[in-house]
Amino acid sequence: MSAPVLRIAPPGSRGIDDLLATARTRLDRLGPLETHQAMQRGAVLVDIRPAAQRAEHGEIPGAIVIERNVLEWRLDPRSDARLSFTHYDLDVIVTCQEGYTSSLAAAALQDLGLLRATDLEGGFKAWQAAGLPTL
């Protein structure tokens, strides 16, 4: 026998639109050209898309691939699984395909203390539409 389906949101829960809007209030989101310029100044662009999505749509030259499921472990300066370049003052820009998941991911990085974390507004799709280089 299956449990009844809960059709009313539990008290205190928030919908994804609210979570996304809240995350974005904390970010100074960058457009594709601003992201490209930031990379030229040394910012790290992190592509969190899964391999299948990167294979289908392409990649941004110079982006570091850290899939979403391990992002916090790889960029938390406290983590034993951190990458060697991570530190609290890291200029990190997160990208996904269209700029939704990247906003949530950048906010999570800010929660870890990487206060300069932000994301690429419009994601890879906006980068590509701007005519910037792809692989």
What are the pLDDT digits (tens) for 59-101? 999 999 999 999 999 999 999 999 999 999 999 999 999 999 9
- 12 within domain boundaries: no
pTM of the model: 0.93
Q: Give residue 87's pLDDT.
A: 97
Looking at the 3D structure of the chain, how many domains does it have? 1
DSSP 3-state of 92 = strand
Nearest to 47 by CA among 84, 92, 94: 94
- 15 within domain boundaries: no
Indicate the pLDDT class of residue 1, thresholds 50, 70 and 90: low
DSSP H or E stretch at residue 65: strand 64-65
- Altogether, the residues listed in the chain come to a count of 135
DSSP state of 29: -
Cα–Cα distances in angstroms (integers) from residue 83 to residues 8, 59, 113, 132, in the given order:
42, 20, 15, 27
Nearest to 63 by CA among 41, 48, 81: 48
Domain enclosing residue 92, as ranges: 21-129
CATH number at residue 60: 3.40.250.10
- 69 within domain boundaries: yes
- 134 within domain boundaries: no
DSSP state of 119: E
- 11 within domain boundaries: no
